[in-house]
Structure 1
Amino acid sequence: MILGCNFGSVAHTDMYNNLGNPAGVQGPNVNPQPNPFGNAFYGAGSGLIRGGLGAYGEKFLGSSSEFMQSNISRYFSNPQYYFQVNEQYVRNKVKVILFPLLHRGHWTRITEPVGGRLSYKPPIYDINAPDLYIPFMAFGTYIILAGFTIGLMGKFSPEAMSMQFTRGLAGWFIEVLLLKGLLYSLGGGEAPLLDLVAYSGYAFTGLSLTLLARLCWSYSYYALMPWMSLCMGIFLVKTMKRVFFTEMRSYEKHSSRQHYLLLFMAIAQFPLFFWLGKISA
């Protein structure tokens, strides 16, 4: 009985398959013949697309790298340039910062041909070149002397040191904005940002000397602070006038306005110095 049922089901299945494929009629071939022309066109088209995209990508990356390099050199210059100093440069530069009226030499920077264009010599060869070694060392000395002053007041704490550190950075930032705004208002050209950071950071040289004198004799603070403010103002006026002289047309066009803004920059050193020299816990 079971064999009969199985035989019937097999026969039914064979009959169903025979109905799907009648005798003498072959089913369609499921494997199409390859088209050599289509493959050739496809290979050529993909090659052209890849070549075009590759050329466009190289052009885009090349222009992007040139744009980034030009803007970095324009605003930030080469950081290593600002640390090419020696002992003689540091000693002479500090004299110029603290006693600018005694500087009998010129204030212009020395140029040299590099790669077919003129470039400024590093600080080790030019006393008028900006550097970042003195500003960073002066800022660190300023923070240390401020900590000693707070300790002598009996109010030393991490919070007090953090507040003094923040005040120093804020004063440095304000000085940079002051110089940047001066250049922008007169259209005196684009100075590298690190140049402005260096010029602004020289203020901590006079501030450190004032705090050191205050530790020795408290009343010397009131005599040295106005003097250091005046010296820093004169130094910045001499320096920024040199920057403006590189753009002669801008200087001739805004000569009277430039004098007023330079005077304002020099006067602004007094409240800024007294604010930075205020040590409080």
Structure 2
Amino acid sequence: MYGNVGAQPGMPIPPQAATSQASPFGNAFYGAGSGLIRGGLGAYGEKIFGSSSEYVQSNISRYFSDPQYYFQVNLHYVRNKLKVILFPFLHRGHWTRISEPVGGSLSYKPPIYDINAPDLYIPFMAFGTFVVLAGLTLGLNGQFSPEAVNWQFVRGLLGWFVQVGLLKFTLLTLGSGEAPLLDIVAYAGYAFVGISVASLGNILSKYSYYALMPWASLMMGTFLVKTMKRVLFAELRSYDSSRHHYVLLFIAIFQFPIFGWLGRI
């Protein structure tokens, strides 16, 4: 019945009891303070990491997009896209991409539903064809070797990288650097379609190469000019017609030396 009475005279006071008697409100303040600190730090950390996660996700979607988007193609799209690349003057439709609202924001339809959408299927297939035709050309000339084919592969990748750098630098110079990187990779990779056609002509007839290579360069330059003007420059807030025309002309002219370098096997 006396269990709840204070310490008896002559008995040692337990440490916890002494602490409680020395600061009867200490535990309460400590618990409240630690709770506030933990809650504040947790909310602050969640805010920092949450905003960082949103920033990373927004930039990834802005600059890289979804890789699966670029492989949603079918035979109808591939056939019509090759016509647009090789004969851009015959493309009578518009060059702008078709947008649709998704989750409160605008998104572009995949290639299977839009002929003007970029894809990576054709660039990869054209690049593989370019390497195969290069190896065949080396074999017909008696110069085939694994090292020679490997050099053609590396040279093709280097040319692709240079083309991507040119288009990206153009966008940054004109104040529109927010186009997804895979879009630019796709547009630059379409060059291997014309190079493959010229390489095939070189195998069939030496003379046809000198006609097909300038023609393929001109067609690619025209395709890039129309695409860059109507699609990639759509996000520009200001438009300087003279400056843009000079830049577009430079892109078109640059196709001749890059095609000549890649097509010389």
TM-score for the superposition, normalised by structure 1: 0.84
> Is the partner of 1:145 in helix, strand or coil?
helix
Corresponding residue for 1:267? 253
Moved more, 75-84 or 196-205: 75-84
CA distance in 2, matches of 1:185, 1:31: 73
1:153 to 134, 141, 157: 141
Q: CA shift at 1:211, angstroms?
A: 1.2
Shift of 1:30: 8.3
Counterpart of 1:71 in structure 2: which amino acid? N
Residue 97 of structure 2 contacts residue 231 of structure 2 at CA under 8 Å; is this kept in 1? no
Unaligned runs of 5+ in 1: 1-25
Aligned partners of 2:176 and 2:56: how far apart in 1? 23
| Cα distance in 1 between the residues matched to 2:123 and 2:234 | 24
Q: Does the 8 A contact of 2:80 with 2:115 survive in 1?
A: yes
Name the residue aligned to 2:244: 258
Report matched runs for 1:111-122 at 5 Å.
111-122=99-110
1:76 aligns with 2:52: no
Match of 2:28 in 1: 40
Structure 2 residue 126 is the aligned partner of structure 1 residue 138: yes
Partner of 2:211 in structure 1?
223
Does residue 105 (structure 1) correspond to residue 93 (structure 2)? The answer is yes
- What one-letter code is carried by the residue in structure 2 that aligns with 1:104? R
Which residue number in structure 2 is paired with residue 53 of structure 1?
Answer: 41
Match of 2:202 in 1: 214
Instruction: Assess if the C-alpha contact under 8 Å between 1:171 and 1:272 holds in 2.
Output: yes
Amino acid at match of 1:238: K
**RMSD over equivalenced CA pairs, Å:** 1.9
Partner of 1:18: none
Q: Provide Cα deviations, 1:206-251, integer angstroms capped at 9, x if missing partner.
A: 1111112222222211110000000000000100110365246422
Return the alpha-carbon distance in structure 1 between the equivalents of residues 235 and 122 of structure 2. Answer: 28
Instruction: Measure, in 2, the Cα distance between the counterparts of 1:72 and 1:244.
Output: 18
Question: Residues 53 and 188 of structure 1: is their aligned pair in 2 closer, same or farther, counting only changes over 3 Å?
Answer: closer
CA distance in 2: counterparts of 1:160 and 1:202, whole angstroms: 24
Give the conservation status (yes or no) of the 8 Å contact 1:236–1:266. yes
CA distance in 2 between partners of 1:49 and 1:128 (Å): 55
Pick aligned residue for 2:164 from 159, 176, 179: 176
Secondary structure of the corresponding residue to residue 119 of structure 1: strand
Q: Deviations over 1:61-81 (max 9, x none)?
A: 110011001111111112111
Deviates more, 1:152-161 or 1:142-151: 152-161
Bigger Cα displacement from structure 2, 64-73 vs 110-119: 110-119
Could you give the per-residue CA deviations for residues 126-146 of structure 1, whole angstroms, max 9, x where no partner exists?
000111111111111111111
- Please list every run of 5 or more consecutive structure 2 residues that lacks an aligned counterpart in the other structure: 1-9
SS of the equivalent of 2:25 reads helix
How far 1:155 moved relative to its partner? 2.1
Query: 2: distance between equivalents of 1:255 and 1:244?
Result: 15
Structure 2 equivalent of residue 8 of structure 1: none
Deviations 1:86-119 (A, max 9, x none): 1100000001001111111111111111112221
TM-score after normalising by structure 2: 0.89
SS at match of 2:144: coil
How far has the Cα of 1:43 moved from its partner? 2.2
Comparing 173-182 with 265-274, greater Cα deviation is found at 173-182
